[in-house]
Amino acid sequence: MKVGILTGGGDCPGLNPVIRGIVQAVANAGGQTIGFLEGWRGPIECNYIELTPDSVSDIIFKGGTILGSSRTNPHKDPSLVEKILENFKKMELDCLVAIGGDDTLGVANKLHAEYGLATIGCPKTIDNDLSSTDVTFGFDTSINIVAEAIDRLRTTAESHRRVIVVETMGRHAGWIACFSAIASGADYVMVPEVPASIEEMCTLLKKRREAGKKYGIVVVSEGAVLAEEDGLVTQHGEVDDFGHVALGGIGEKVAEIIESRTGIETRWVTLGHLQRGGSPTAADRVLGTRLGVHAGRLAASGAKGRMVALRGTKIVDVALADAVGELRTLDLEILDEAREFFQ
Ligand code: F6P
């Protein structure tokens, strides 16, 4: 039995533990694993490396992915899909495990549903926005990074009596912003799910200052929209292979508005790719390993068109088709709990 693995889309801490888990489970079942390099570009160009339990034995603590990643979309051009099908046959693969977010898993699903390819999905993203799984690995690491950054920003904000606006990633879901705002005791959070009121935030910041708190921390998700303004703030108009615009810049905008409306000196910090870098937390290593082991077992059992997922404390498998195409946005009950502190 021969299993291929690839990692696609934005990298995230926990990918290497998944790879290690798959390789070990496949080897235990008597199979062999290869790792395609740089997302879907790997099977298109037949660019791969051999993976063995020995070669992946020391990667559990490493961030990123030893296989590299890309946002390549083979469905942009039918000849690219043909190449994948050819290479799958040429390599005598029994199964391809795609580790990725909605875009990467969407490709895996289409290759299975429309071309009969034996694919299995494993959900990943720091954004935590995939349906059919309770949480994605990478998310825990990213909120720990943001919370630690805010702890540091708090002392300088306090020294200078400033407000600091912290812009987080997360695309169109506010999980990272909301969880890191709660974890760091921020004064306000803006998430994409609920248009944020500048008026409410400025009133709160002024009230706190009058009450004696001389600094403030505001967390803004990159995909947040302001109730008083139109549309998303983007870096430039270009879109990637899957049609997504690059978000970013709302932190600066919010900081300028706060300073002009309240007169409080305000700075902004965009944490950007720091949120995806470095070693995975222990929780992400464990979740990644468990998902990898189950994906490897599934591949070895001959399953296809399935995705491994976390439900409660158990790893289960669900239909890949049911898992893609639906964004899982922030649970508003959690935002409501956070709002207890924004009075
Ligand atoms: O989906 C993960 C993510 O980090 C988003 O939070 C962010 O908007 C995007 O990827 C950034 O993509 P890139 O790495 O291509 O700049």
For the CA of 169, the nearest atom of ligand 1: 6
pLDDT digit string (tens) for the chain, length 343 residues? 999 999 999 999 999 999 999 999 999 999 999 999 999 999 999 999 999 999 999 999 999 999 999 999 999 999 999 999 999 999 999 999 999 999 999 999 999 999 999 999 999 999 999 998 999 999 999 999 999 999 999 999 999 999 999 999 999 999 999 999 999 999 999 999 998 889 999 999 999 999 999 999 999 999 999 877 767 888 887 889 998 989 999 999 999 999 999 999 999 999 999 999 999 999 999 999 999 999 999 999 999 999 999 999 999 999 999 999 899 999 999 999 999 999 8
For the CA of 247, the nearest atom of ligand 1: 8
Q: Which tens digit of pLDDT belongs to each residue from 30-47?
A: 999 999 999 999 999 999
Residues with CB under 6 A from ligand 1: 10, 101, 125-127, 169-171, 222, 246-247, 276
**What is the structure's pLDDT at 237?**
76
Active site (annotated) includes residue 127: yes
Distance of CA 169 from the midpoint of ligand 1 (Å):
7
**What is the structure's pLDDT at 325?**
86
Give the residue whose CA is nearest to atom 3 of ligand 1: 10
Exposure string of 116-146, with b = 16+ CB inside 10 Å and e = fewer, is ebbbbbbbbbbbbbbbbbebbbbbbbbbbbb
**What is the structure's pLDDT at 27?**
98
**What is the structure's pLDDT at 342?**
92
Q: Which tens digit of pLDDT belongs to each residue from 303-343?
A: 999 999 999 999 999 999 999 989 999 999 999 999 999 98
For the CA of 101, the nearest atom of ligand 1: 1
Instruction: Please give the model's pTM, rounded to 2 decimal places.
Output: 0.96
**What is the structure's pLDDT at 235?**
82
What are the CA-CA distances from residue 315 to residues 81, 125, 135, 266 (Å)? Answer: 31, 17, 11, 45
At 3, which amino acid appears?
A: V
**What is the structure's pLDDT at 87?**
97
The answer to whether residues 10 and 40 touch, using CB atoms and an 8 Å cutoff, is: no
| Structural domains of the chain ordered from first start | 2-137+280-323 (3.40.50.450), 140-277 (3.40.50.460)
Catalytic residue among 11, 94, 127, 284: 127
